[in-house]
Amino acid sequence: MRMSAHVNAVRRRAPGARKVCPRPDNALDDVENSDTIGPALHRLSPATNLAMNNAHPHPIAGVLPVFQTPYHEDETIDFETLEKEIHWLFDQGADGIVMAMVSETLRLSSDERRALAEAACAIGGPRGAVIISVGAESSRVAEDLARHAEAVGADAVMAIPPLATHADESEIGRYYARILSAVSIPVIVQDASGYVGRPMSIALQADLFNTHGPRVMFKPEAHPIGPRLSELRYATGGRARIFEGSGGAALTDSYARGIAGVMPGADLVDVIVALWRALKAGDAHMANRLSAPLSALVGRLTNLDAFLAVEKHLLVKRGVFKNAIVRGPVGYRLDADLRGEVDRLFDELQAVLSDAASADLRRASRTV
Label residue 8 by pLDDT band (50, 70, 90): low
DSSP state of 35: T
Domains belonging to the chain, first-starting first, are 3-282 (3.20.20.70)
CA distance 152 to 170: 31
276, 259 contact by CB (below 8 A): no
Q: Please state the length of the chain.
A: 368
Residues 97-118: what's their mean pLDDT?
97
* pLDDT tens per residue, range 124-146: 999 999 999 999 999 999 999 99
Residue type, 217: M
β 62-63/96-99 pair status: unpaired
Cα–Cα distance, 129 to 95 (Å, whole number): 7
Pseudo-torsion of CA 105, 335, 353, 275, nearest 10°? -50
Whole-number mean pLDDT of the chain? 87
In sequence order, what are the residues at sequence separation of 6 or more whose Cβ sits closer than 8 angstroms to the Cβ of residue 113? 105, 145
pLDDT in tens, 194-217: 777 789 999 999 999 999 999 999
Question: pLDDT higher for 232 or 29?
Answer: 232
Average pLDDT score over residue span 265-285: 97
What DSSP state is assigned to residue 244?
A: E
Strand order in the sheet with 62-63: 62-63, 261-262, 243-244
Residue 248 pLDDT: 92
Residues 43-66: tens digit of each pLDDT: 333 333 333 443 457 999 999 999
